[in-house]
C-alpha cells in the first residue's frame, strides 16, 4: 500500500526517487544483455529493504507556492518499436521509492514532476521491464533497442498529444544513476523513460542496470 504525499510537500522533494527493483519479480538470466521474462503468474514481491533509498526532503518556505496546472499523460507510444502502453499518475511509496504500476503492461508518470506539455522540467515515465503479475516481458523491455532520432508520442488527458525525439539511450548501473539529474522540476522540457536492464541479480532480486531514455519535445 502506498501513502499519498500532499502536492505541496512533494514539490519540495530533492528528486532522488529510486527505481529499486524495477521488476516486480523476474526470471534470472546469466547473460548481461538479454532480458528474460517470467513464465508463471504470481503475486508481485516487493524489493528487499537493502535496496531502498529514502527520498530526501528539505525544508522550505511554502508561501507563494502554487500547484501546477499540468495535463497528465494517459498513453505512450513508440511507433518504431511497436510500443503502446497506458500511463497512470503515480507518486512516492512509503518506503521512499517511486511508485510503479505492478503490471509491466502499464507505465507510471511521476505526478510531482513535470507533465509532457509543460514548458519546463523533466517528465518521468517508468515501467517494469517484466513482472510475474504480467507473466512476461512488458512494452518497456524494448527500450534498450530504441534508436536516437526515434519519435515518442504521448497522449494527454485533454485529447492532445505531445511528440518527442529521442536524443539519448543509456544502460547505467543502478549504483551509478544520478537521480538528482533526472527528477528535475526546472530547466528545459524533456521526457525521460526508465526501466531495468542488464544482469538479473537473484540475491538483490533486481536487475543490475537501468535503461534510461531521454527525449526532447518536437516544436
Residue 62 lies inside a defined structural domain of this protein: no
Residue 59 lies inside a defined structural domain of this protein: no
Residue 213 lies inside a defined structural domain of this protein: yes
Residue 63 lies inside a defined structural domain of this protein: no
Residue 66 lies inside a defined structural domain of this protein: no
Total domains in the chain come to 1
Residue 199 lies inside a defined structural domain of this protein: yes
User: Rounded CA gap, 74 and 161, in Å?
Assistant: 10
Residue 18 lies inside a defined structural domain of this protein: yes
pLDDT 10s digit of each residue in the chain, 219 long? 333 344 433 443 433 445 555 654 444 333 333 333 333 333 333 333 223 322 334 333 333 334 456 899 999 999 999 999 999 999 998 888 899 999 999 999 999 999 999 999 999 999 999 888 887 899 999 999 999 999 999 999 999 999 999 999 999 998 899 999 999 999 999 999 999 988 877 766 678 899 999 999 998
Q: Could you list the residue range(s) of the whole structural domain that residue 133 is in?
A: 7-54+71-217
- Is-contact 133 41, C-beta < 8 A? yes
Residue 114 lies inside a defined structural domain of this protein: yes
CA distances (Å), origin 18, targets 60, 97, 194: 22, 5, 11
CATH number at residue 163: 2.40.260.10
Amino acid at each position: 500500500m502506498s501513502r499519498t504525499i500532499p502536492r505541496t510537500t512533494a514539490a519540495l522533494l530533492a528528486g532522488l526517487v529510486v527505481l529499486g527493483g524495477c521488476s516486480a519479480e523476474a526470471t534470472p538470466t546469466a547473460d548481461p544483455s538479454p532480458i528474460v521474462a517470467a513464465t508463471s503468474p504470481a503475486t508481485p514481491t516487493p524489493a528487499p529493504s537493502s535496496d531502498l533509498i529514502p527520498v530526501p526532503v528539505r525544508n522550505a518556505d511554502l508561501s507563494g507556492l502554487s500547484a501546477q496546472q499540468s495535463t497528465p499523460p494517459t498513453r505512450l507510444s513508440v511507433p518504431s518499436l511497436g510500443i503502446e502502453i497506458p500511463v497512470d499518475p503515480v507518486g512516492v511509496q512509503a518506503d521512499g521509492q517511486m511508485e510503479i504500476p505492478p503490471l509491466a503492461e502499464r507505465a507510471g508518470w511521476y505526478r510531482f514532476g513535470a507533465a509532457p506539455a509543460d514548458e519546463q522540467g523533466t517528465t518521468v515515465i517508468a515501467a517494469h521491464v517484466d513482472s510475474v503479475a504480467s507473466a512476461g516481458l512488458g512494452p518497456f523491455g524494448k527500450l534498450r533497442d530504441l534508436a536516437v532520432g526515434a519519435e515518442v508520442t504521448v497522449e494527454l488527458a485533454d485529447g492532445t498529444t505531445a511528440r518527442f525525439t529521442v536524443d539519448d539511450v543509456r544502460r547505467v548501473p543502478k549504483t551509478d544513476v544520478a537521480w538528482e539529474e533526472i527528477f528535475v522540476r526546472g530547466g528545459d522540457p524533456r521526457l525521460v523513460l526508465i526501466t531495468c536492464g542488464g544482469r538479473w541479480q537473484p540475491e538483490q532480486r533486481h536487475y543490475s542496470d537501468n535503461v534510461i531514455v531521454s527525449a526532447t519535445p518536437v516544436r
